[in-house]
Amino acid sequence: MTTIATLQRLTAPKLADMLLKANPSSADSSPIAIVDVRDDDYIGGHIRTSMHFPLRSIDATMPTLLRKLADKETVVFHCAFSQQRGPGAALRYLREREAMPQKKTGEEEGVNEAKGEKKEQKVYVLDRGFVGWQEEYGSDERLTEGYRKDLWKDGYWG
């Protein structure tokens, strides 16, 4: 069973490379899902194509999140620093996903029809969260939307 300590981390440069290679036009068309669970601190920018699911409402929105992420190859959770909220949401998602009844039709996400094998979805936590991301990619419009450098010049205020 996965725990907070065993959640896999993904660095900002690795995620940036994955996003640039995938070149998604929207969250729906991307094989990579980025879930931003920041609450009131969701200002000053966000990773392009990310989905905002505030942690304070994650209980109510978990069914929607499970449905939206079902066909994604890679899912990356983050908050400001990815120390509490991001890892907690990732763990909750993994446990809820594991508890879901499996489809019996063979149409389940990630099934390799030729081999009949299920492709394992990779779930990560963004190392250093959005604070670390914006330090490296805040001004890169290919990767970050709505970035406000003036809000970040003195560091994180959360």
Q: Is 125 part of a structural domain of the chain?
A: yes
Q: Is 124 part of a structural domain of the chain?
A: yes
Question: What amino acid positions are annotated as catalytic residues?
Answer: 79
Q: What whole-number percentage of the chain has pLDDT above 90?
A: 73
Provide the residue range defining the domain that includes 77.
4-101+113-144
- Per-residue pLDDT tens for 7-56? 999 999 999 999 999 987 788 889 999 999 999 999 999 999 999 999 99
With H, G, I as helix, E, B as strand and everything else as coil, classify residue 36.
Answer: strand
At residue 71, the pLDDT reads 95
Q: Is 128 part of a structural domain of the chain?
A: yes
**The pTM is what?**
0.87
Number of domains in the chain: 1
Q: Is 154 part of a structural domain of the chain?
A: no
- Per-residue pLDDT tens for 49-59? 999 999 999 99
Q: Is 151 part of a structural domain of the chain?
A: no
At residue 101, the pLDDT reads 81
At residue 117, the pLDDT reads 56
- Per-residue pLDDT tens for 91-101? 999 999 999 88
Distant-in-sequence, close-in-space partners of 148: CB < 8 Å, separation ≥ 6: 43, 44, 45
Specify whether the CB–CB gap between 12 and 128 falls below 8 A.
Answer: yes
Higher pLDDT among residues 18 and 116, named by residue:
18
To the nearest whole number, what is the mean pLDDT of the chain?
A: 89
CA 22 to CA 8: how far, in whole Å?
21
For residues 91, 94, 98 and 104, what is the CA-based torsion angle, rounded to 10 degrees?
170
Provide the CATH number for the domain around residue 123.
3.40.250.10
